[in-house]
């Protein structure tokens, strides 16, 4: 679990904030600036990525960064400002795998409460088996379901997304978005 670092200063004026219930009827203590009365809300981060598939194989990336250096993951990362979730997932797939692909529909939305994140995975159809991974990836490789190094998967959300993907593929049906709460 990652400890939350509390807000210490107002982003607007730099004054030290106090944690209290805002005067607007809010029911949670928030970082409130006593000088300019700005209420600073702390919201979850969005992680966006893809499940890239070529035939019966899924593309995984071996991490070249912490956390979980050397473990396998789907191409995914933090969403940036000024992009949609699909654009962010596409950008991360480009950056981490250097793959040619066609974006498909939203596949899974996972709330990871303990770290304040929401993970969104899209399906993607690979157009080639050639990859040019960026600096965050040691290796990008295709795996059949049987070949996936399940004990070397970096994150629970990736494991869950892959398990749901293979289950849906066996059923021949990708008509639902999976929602998973990881508390």
| pLDDT over threshold 80, residue 2 | no
Write the CB contacts of 123 (distance below 8 Å, at least 6 apart in sequence). 50, 51, 53, 104, 105, 107, 165, 174
**Cβ(103)–Cβ(86) below 8 Å:** yes
Q: The tokens of 113 are what?
A: 């409460």
Q: Average pLDDT for residues 148-166, to the nearest whole number?
A: 98
* pTM attached to this predicted model: 0.91
Q: How confident is the model at residue 1 (pLDDT cuts 50, 70, 90)?
A: very low
Mean pLDDT across the chain: 96
């Amino acid at each position: 679990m990652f400890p939350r670092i509390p807000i210490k200063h107002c982003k607007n004026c730099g004054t030290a904030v106090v944690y209290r219930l805002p005067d607007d009827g809010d029911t949670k203590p928030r970082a409130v600036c006593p000088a300019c009365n700005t209420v600073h809300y702390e919201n979850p981060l969005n992680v966006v990525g893809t499940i890239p598939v070529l035939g019966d194989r899924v593309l995984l990336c071996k991490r070249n960064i912490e956390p979980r250096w050397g473990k396998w993951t789907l191409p995914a990362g933090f969403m940036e400002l000024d992009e949609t979730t699909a654009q962010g997932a596409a950008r991360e797939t480009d950056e981490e795998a250097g793959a040619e692909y066609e974006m498909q529909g939203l596949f899974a939305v996972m709330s990871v409460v303990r770290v304040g994140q929401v993970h969104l995975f899209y399906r993607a159809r690979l157009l080639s088996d050639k990859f040019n991974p960026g600096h965050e990836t040691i290796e990008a490789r295709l795996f059949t379901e049987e070949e996936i190094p399940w004990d070397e998967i970096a994150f629970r959300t990736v494991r869950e997304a892959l398990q749901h993907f293979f289950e849906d593929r066996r059923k021949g049906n990708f008509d639902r978005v999976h929602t998973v709460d990881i508390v």
